[in-house]
């Protein structure tokens, strides 16, 4: 038995729904910014529609992306989210002190 179409009862096309949700998720935009950008393209929707679509279709789109990454053999980058900062990959080696910091440390230990 085939899966039911999740976009069946929506007046808006699936491409526009996908575009709106992916713009909201991929870029640091507010719901109203997504509404304005789509309005500039001639698509008249409400920010509440984008919020509803994001809650309803966001997990489905995320699962599709994960599935495509797994099929392609690309290892996902593991990231650690810090409050108020962007994601930092923790697989990558961390840089040592900068040259200035190293110079300050060496001067600090020489004085003692």
Model pLDDT for residues 50-103, shown as the tens digit of each residue: 999 999 999 999 888 888 887 876 565 665 555 555 555 555 555 555 556 555
Residues 6+ apart with CB under 8 A from 62: none
> Which pLDDT band holds residue 111 (cuts at 50, 70, 90)?
very low
**Is 1 in a helix, a strand, or coil?**
coil
Does the predicted TM-score (pTM) go above 0.75? no
- Structure confidence at residue 84 (pLDDT): 57
Cα separation, 4 vs 105, in Å, equals 64
Residue 13: partners with Cβ closer than 8 Å, 6 or more residues away: 7
**Mean of the per-residue pLDDT values of the chain:** 79
Q: Counting Cβ atoms within 10 Å, is residue 51 exposed (0-12), middle (13-18) or buried (19+)?
A: middle
């Amino acid at each position: 038995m085939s899966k039911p179409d999740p976009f069946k009862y929506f007046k808006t096309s699936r491409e526009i729904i996908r575009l709106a949700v992916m713009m909201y998720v991929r870029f640091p935009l507010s719901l109203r910014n997504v509404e304005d950008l789509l309005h500039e393209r001639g698509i008249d929707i409400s920010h509440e529609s984008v919020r509803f679509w994001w809650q309803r279709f966001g997990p489905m789109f995320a699962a599709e992306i994960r599935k495509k990454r797994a099929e392609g053999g690309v290892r996902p980058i593991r990231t650690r989210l810090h409050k108020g900062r962007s994601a930092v990959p923790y697989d990558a080696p961390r840089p040592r002190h900068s040259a200035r910091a190293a110079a300050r440390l060496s001067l600090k230990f020489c004085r003692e």
